[in-house]
């Protein structure tokens, strides 16, 4: 088997476990609208929004790690549709009563008047191409990321084919270029937050994160490994976050605070890439057994459903109980809503996401085999010369 082939690529269960921590971070970020804690802790929780960037890097890595050049584009696209759309559609229906009203001027700030045209953009996953909050966060507000993912999916077969032409060194060079672009873009956005770069549609603005994951995965498939323990990569992420909070609180506007704030987004993206590769390195070496702990992997498998319903659960609590003033007692709300969201995500994964995806993938196999059978039957009735000429 040639280098980079994925036919016998080992499963990366530890990576699945990492998905849970990213989803949990986003949950903590959104809990601030309902039940904040102390100011210092709230500052760290606000960084949970970067869990989305982790998902984008991870998406590029996982899709490229498992990429097979013989898989037809139609098959790839159908499998991606089966993976995300059924759950997206159901969670969109669950979100509409929480985030929409037929009243022209809803009393709650997060509730919007019903607009069928905008909702239809959410149905077909186009809302993320707008920077207007009423459109970007329409339908299920967490689902704007699926617009970005859908764009990544559209690009992936073509980008992956390009990667197949480069070596491990070429993939690392490409990853270095993407990293440099990531840093440059974030510096430009920090210095000019209303400039044209900052106003790019999010699928375009975030494609570098997906590309970074792809390049790292291709190098990894070609045998590249990093001798960095995943704990150090995770610690680096934590250290950057703490530095951002501390400099912002203790020395706001100072040069250190400015530098940390300017480089924070890019540093997070690059550290996410390091965490993914280091975890993969240690897993294929059999050295991260605790990260493959079955309950953690299970939570990772539920994380997509968890992500898509967590905002609906949080804002439902906000509608019923009202905003909770910042205090440590709000940890009880964290625990309660976390349990409810996990239970809901487990039900959605076990009774909807997994069985529907499996059935849709099976349909695709049946349809493909029927087409192959019909094609073979047609060719059997034609002269061999014509069949060969058509293939050429």
Cα 198 from Cα 260, distance rounded (Å): 19
For the residues 300-308, what does the mean pLDDT come to? 97
* Cβ-proximal residues to 227 (8 Å cutoff; 6+ apart), any chain: 281
Cα 211 from Cα 203, distance rounded (Å): 12
pLDDT at 390: 54
**Does residue 47 register a pLDDT over 70?**
yes
Token duo for residue 99: 């985030």
pLDDT at 232: 96
Q: pLDDT by residue (tens digit) across 243-278?
A: 999 998 888 889 989 999 999 999 999 999 999 999
Q: pLDDT by residue (tens digit) across 186-214?
A: 999 999 999 999 999 999 999 999 999 99
Cα 281 from Cα 232, distance rounded (Å): 13
Query: Please, what is the average pLDDT of the chain?
Result: 92
- Cβ atoms of residues 26 and 144 within 8 Å: no
Q: Cα-Cα-Cα-Cα dihedral of 179, 181, 186, 192, to 10°?
A: 170
In this structure, the number of other CB atoms found within 10 A of the CB of residue 115 comes to 13
In this structure, the number of other CB atoms found within 10 A of the CB of residue 170 comes to 15
User: What size, in residues, is the chain?
Assistant: 392
What pTM does this model have? 0.92
pLDDT at 4: 47
Q: HEC string of the chain?
A: CCCCCCCCCCCCHHHHHHHHHHHHHHHHHHHCCCCCCCHHHHHHHHHHHHHHHHHHHHHHHHHHHCCCCCCCHHHHHHHHHHHHHHHHHHHHHHHHHHHEECCCCCCCCCCEECCHHHHHHHHCCCHHHCCCHHHHCCCCHHHHHHHHHHHHHHHHHHHHHHHCCCCHHHHHHHHHHHHHHHHHHHHHHHHCCCCCCCCCCHHHHCHHHHHHHHHHHHHHHCCCCCCCCHHHHHHHHHHHHHHHHHHHHHCCCCHHHHHHHHHHHHHHHHHHHHHHHHHHHHHHCCCCHHHHCHHHHHHHHHHHHHHHHHHHHHHHHHHHHCCCCCCHHHHHHHHHHHHHHHHHHHHHHHHHHHHHHHHHHHHHHHHHHHHHHHHHHHHHCCCHHHHHHHHC
Q: pLDDT by residue (tens digit) across 116-166?
A: 999 999 999 999 999 999 999 999 999 999 999 999 999 999 999 999 999
Task: Count Cα atoms within 13 angstroms, Cβ side, for 254.
Answer: 12
pLDDT at 1: 37
């Amino acid at each position: 088997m040639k280098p980079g082939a994925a036919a016998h690529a080992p499963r990366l269960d530890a990576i699945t476990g990492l998905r849970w921590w990213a989803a949990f971070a986003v949950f903590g970020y959104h809990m601030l609208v309902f039940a904040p804690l102390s100011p210092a802790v709230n500052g760290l929780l606000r960084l949970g929004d970067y869990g989305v960037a982790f998902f984008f890097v991870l998406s590029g890595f996982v899709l490229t790690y498992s990429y097979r050049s013989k898989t037809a584009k139609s098959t790839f696209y159908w499998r991606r549709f089966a993976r995300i759309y059924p759950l997206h559609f159901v969670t969109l229906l669950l979100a509409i009563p929480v985030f929409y009203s037929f009243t022209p001027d809803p009393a709650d700030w997060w509730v919007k008047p019903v607009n069928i045209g905008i909702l239809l953009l959410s149905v077909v996953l186009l809302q993320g191409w707008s920077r207007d909050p009423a459109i970007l966060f329409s339908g299920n507000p967490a689902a704007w990321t699926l617009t970005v993912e859908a764009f990544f999916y559209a690009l992936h077969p073509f980008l992956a084919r390009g990667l197949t032409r480069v070596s491990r060194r070429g993939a690392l060079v490409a990853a270095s270029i993407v990293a440099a672009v990531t840093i440059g873009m974030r510096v430009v956005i920090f210095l000019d937050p209303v400039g044209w770069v900052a106003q790019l549609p999010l699928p375009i603005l975030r494609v570098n994160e997906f590309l970074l994951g792809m390049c790292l995965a291709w190098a990894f498939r070609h045998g590249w490994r990093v001798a960095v323990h995943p704990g150090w990569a995770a610690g680096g992420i934590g250290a950057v976050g703490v530095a951002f909070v501390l400099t912002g609180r203790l020395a706001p506007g100072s040069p250190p605070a400015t530098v940390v704030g300017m480089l924070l987004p890019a540093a997070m993206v690059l550290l996410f890439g390091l965490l993914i590769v280091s975890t993969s390195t240690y897993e294929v070496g059999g050295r991260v057994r605790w990260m493959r702990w079955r309950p953690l992997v299970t939570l990772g498998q539920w994380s997509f459903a968890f992500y898509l319903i967590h905002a609906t659960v949080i804002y439902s609590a906000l509608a019923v109980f009202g905003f909770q003033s910042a205090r440590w007692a709000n940890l009880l709300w964290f625990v309660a809503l976390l349990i409810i969201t996990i239970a809901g995500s487990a039900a959605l994964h076990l009774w909807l996401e997994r069985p529907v995806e499996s059935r849709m993938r099976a349909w695709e196999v049946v349809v493909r085999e029927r087409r192959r059978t019909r094609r073979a039957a047609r060719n059997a009735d034609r002269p061999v010369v014509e069949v060969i000429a058509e293939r050429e």
